[in-house]
Amino acid sequence: MYVRPDRQTPLYEFAVTAGVSLPTSLSGTRIDVNTIAGTRGTSSDVLVRDLFVGGSLHVNFGERWFQRRKLR
């Protein structure tokens, strides 16, 4: 909850998110795609209800997490 126009009117936000991480042929490189859609606010009184949709695309180069190193 970010802003309240007065003490009696609560403003709520509801959203659904989804994402996927896709491996590539390069070692440790992945492509992450995600999206979000939702609503915030209220249409009661003289207030506004927002509908929003967003998304993003990320490319991670050469990340190697949780791999054991071998001692020689």
Q: What is the pLDDT of residue 29?
A: 87
Q: What is the pLDDT of residue 4?
A: 65
Q: What is the pLDDT of residue 19?
A: 98
- The pLDDT profile of the chain, 72 residues, written as one tens digit per residue, is 456 667 777 778 899 999 999 988 887 789 999 999 999 888 877 788 899 999 999 998 876 677 777 787
Residue positions counted in the chain: 72
Q: Can you give the pTM of this predicted structure?
A: 0.66
How many angstroms separate the CA atoms of 31 and 58, rounded?
6
Map out the domains of the chain with their CATH numbers: 13-60 (3.30.1040)
